[in-house]
Amino acid sequence: MKKILTLFILFAFNSFSKIDIVSLPLRDKVQLTIYNSADLTLVRDERVLTLKQGKNNLQFSWANTLIDPTSLDLIPKQEIASISISQLIYPPRINEVGIWEINSKISKKIPFEISYFTSGISWEAFYIGIISNDEKSMELKGFVKIINRSGEDYENASVRLVVGKINLLEEIQKLAKRYPPYGTPSEYIYPVEKIERVPVMEYRAAKGMLLEAREKEIIKEGISEYFLYTIEGTENLPNNWSKRLSSFSQKDIPIEYFYKYEEEKYGKEPRRIVKFANDLDHKLGKEPLPDGTIKIFKYINKEGNLSYIGSNITKYIPIGEKVELDLGQSKELKVEVKKMERKTKNYMFNKDGNISGWEEEEIYKVKVTNYKNLPVKLEIKRNFPHQYWKIETDKSVEWEKYDLTSAKFVIILKPMEIKEFTYKLILYEGDRRN
């Protein structure tokens, strides 16, 4: 239902007597800029007003919507030098009404833009990834879903989506519910009178649901620290409806499909990881990928049947950055790490004869089994209690220092292969650290 009303009321000179209600201008154009990091949409509503020379008053009301009254703005699009908007009045004891005072040097029809923030319209990104049979490439499809719970219908709206994190001091929803719009100087709550509503026409949601012959294009561009998606043409967004649109689709993205094992982070099961980068080498890199849910499937045969691998929430991926998707536990691979030996040695004593330092030596055996008929790569991360450590391994295994207190082993397994290796960890304690 249309809930925003614009009454264009003319006042002659400085008199407060209402002379004439000239027009009830309808929306000519509406643009929605929807944010995903905050419950906020910037609405730009274009209407043509017939101005008389002198003082003109424009009443704007928005009962039962989620509009932030402190965000209201009115901008003339023509004859800017002849028109001044001196003030915006929130009348006493009437909620959800604002009156602009427009001083005009001319009598003319002028297009105006009314802009405001509303809460209740949101959008989210959503992805589907389909991994090839050989686990070397992936098809990635991106979608955007727009949800309107603002209380207002938006017909033929041009829709823009903003990717990025804005700073907001107060929630728009709270500002929409606050009366008076800027609060009061004291804590006293003033009673509110609801404005009498004029019955307005209800729009049927079905009107906007006509199918189009082709999918709409989404134009993408960077602005400041954000990214702006502009959906081609206009959309109908009735209240309480949501809509999903395709954002992009890319086939044959080279990926690295591998496994990770880290007891402290994931427990004793290895995790499946898909790695790629948002760059040209990976046939992407045209736009940052907004955060959203990703569902990963895999082709299991030549007939194109799929199996569901897992789902995750991706973080925002700037152009050029690598991404690792954690697709959950895997039974395709087994990792067993056992402590086989522990001994202490190389004791040091102080001059009172007490222990002042020693070394701890631990031997671990790692057994990895690949149950798949494809080769796999596994990364095992081992964490240590402190930074005073040393590792000795068989030559058969590759490892690197990850940071102060951890090391990473990389193991490549052939299909159905079992691999075993041992490593010795030496921890230096007390004066042995110096």
Partner 1 sequence: MKKFFLIFILFFSFSFARIKLVALPDREISYIRFDAPFTAFVEEERILTLQKGVNFVDFSWKGVNIDIDSITLTFLTNKEKLKLLSLSFPPEGNSLVWEIYSPEGGEEKIKISYLLSNIDCLYTYKIIVDKNEEKMNFSAFLIIRNFSGEDFEKGIFTPEFGKTFENSVKNEETKQILIYQKDGIKFEKLFVFDASKIIWDPETVGKNVGIPAFFEIKNIKESGLGEFPLLHGKIRIFQIDNQGSAIFLGEDNLKYTPIGESFRLNFGETRDIVVKQRKMKEVKINVRKNNSGNIVLYDTDEIIKIEIENFKDKSAKIELLQNIPDEWDMEESTHKYEKVDANNIKFIVELKPKSKEIIEFHYHRRNLRDFPFYRRDLK
Which residues sit at the interface with partner 1, rule CB under 8 A? Answer: 31, 33, 35, 40, 42, 44, 70-71, 73, 85-93, 117, 160, 162, 164-169, 180-186, 188, 190, 221-226, 228, 230, 288, 291, 315-316, 318-321, 326, 350-352, 354, 356, 387, 403-404, 433-434
Q: Which is nearer to partner 1, 207 or 433 (CB)?
A: 433
For residue 383, the minimal CB distance to partner 1 (Å) is: 12
**Residues with Cβ < 8 Å from 198, sequence gap 6 or more?**
5
For residue 403, the minimal CB distance to partner 1 (Å) is: 6
- Identity of the residue numbered 401: K
Q: Which helix (H) or strand (E) holds 378?
A: strand 376-383
Compute how many other C-beta atoms are within 10 angstroms of the C-beta atom of residue 185: 6
Q: Which is nearer to partner 1, 188 or 308 (CB)?
A: 188
Could you give the 3-state DSSP secondary structure of residue 185?
coil
Strand order in the sheet with 292-299: 242-254, 137-148, 121-131, 292-299, 306-314
For residue 89, the minimal CB distance to partner 1 (Å) is: 5
Q: Which is nearer to partner 1, 176 or 366 (CB)?
A: 176
Compute how many other C-beta atoms are within 10 angstroms of the C-beta atom of residue 349: 12
For residue 431, the minimal CB distance to partner 1 (Å) is: 8
Q: Which is nearer to partner 1, 134 or 403 (CB)?
A: 403
Q: Which is nearer to partner 1, 279 or 417 (CB)?
A: 279
Could you give the 3-state DSSP secondary structure of residue 336?
strand
For residue 224, the minimal CB distance to partner 1 (Å) is: 5
For residue 317, the minimal CB distance to partner 1 (Å) is: 9
For residue 225, the minimal CB distance to partner 1 (Å) is: 4
For residue 79, the minimal CB distance to partner 1 (Å) is: 17
Neighbour-count burial for 150-177, b at 16+ CB within 10 Å, e otherwise: bbbbbbebbbbbbbbeeeeeeebeebbe
Cβ(430)–Cβ(355) below 8 Å: yes
- CA 354-359-360 angle, to 5 degrees, is 120
Q: Which is nearer to partner 1, 351 or 395 (CB)?
A: 351
For residue 417, the minimal CB distance to partner 1 (Å) is: 29
Query: Which tokens is 413 given?
Result: 């397994």
Q: Which is nearer to partner 1, 101 or 332 (CB)?
A: 101
For residue 16, the minimal CB distance to partner 1 (Å) is: 10
**Is the C-alpha dihedral spanning 187, 193, 198, 199 positive or negative?**
positive
Place of tokens 């009115």: 74
Output the DSSP codes for 319-331: TT-EEEEEEEE-S
For residue 124, the minimal CB distance to partner 1 (Å) is: 15
Strand partners, 256: 275
Q: Which is nearer to partner 1, 249 or 346 (CB)?
A: 346
Place of tokens 């050029």: 320
Q: Which is nearer to partner 1, 382 or 413 (CB)?
A: 382
Q: Which is nearer to partner 1, 171 or 360 (CB)?
A: 171
Query: Which tokens is 357 given?
Result: 């330092």
Q: How far apart are CA 249 and CA 130, in angstroms?
A: 11
Q: Which is nearer to partner 1, 244 or 433 (CB)?
A: 433
Output the DSSP codes for 245-286: EEEEEEEEEE-EEEEEE-HHHHTTS-EEEEEEESSGGGT--S
Cβ(205)–Cβ(238) below 8 Å: yes
Q: How far apart are CA 320 and CA 63, in angstroms?
A: 46
